[in-house]
Amino acid sequence: MAAEKIFLIGMMGSGKTFWTKKIAQWIKSAGYDLDDLIEMTEEKTISEIFEEDGEEYFRKLEAKILRWFKEKKKYVLATGGGTPCFLENISWMKKEGVVIWLDESVEVLVERLSAEKAHRPLIAHLSKEEMAQFIQQKLVERHAYYQQANYRLTSDQITEAGLKKLILKHAS
The mean predicted confidence, pLDDT, of the chain is 92
* Per-residue pLDDT tens over the stretch 69-113: 999 999 999 999 999 999 999 999 999 999 999 999 999 999 999
Please write the tens of the pLDDT for every residue from 11-46: 999 999 999 999 999 989 999 999 999 999 999 998
Residue 2 CB coordination number (10 Å): 11
* CA–CA gap between residue 146 and residue 149 (Å, rounded): 6
Per CATH, the number for 5-169 is 3.40.50.300
Containing 78, the helix (H) or strand (E) segment is strand 75-78
User: Higher model confidence: residue 45 or residue 3?
Assistant: 45
pTM for the full predicted model: 0.94
Q: Which pLDDT value is given to residue 171? A: 62
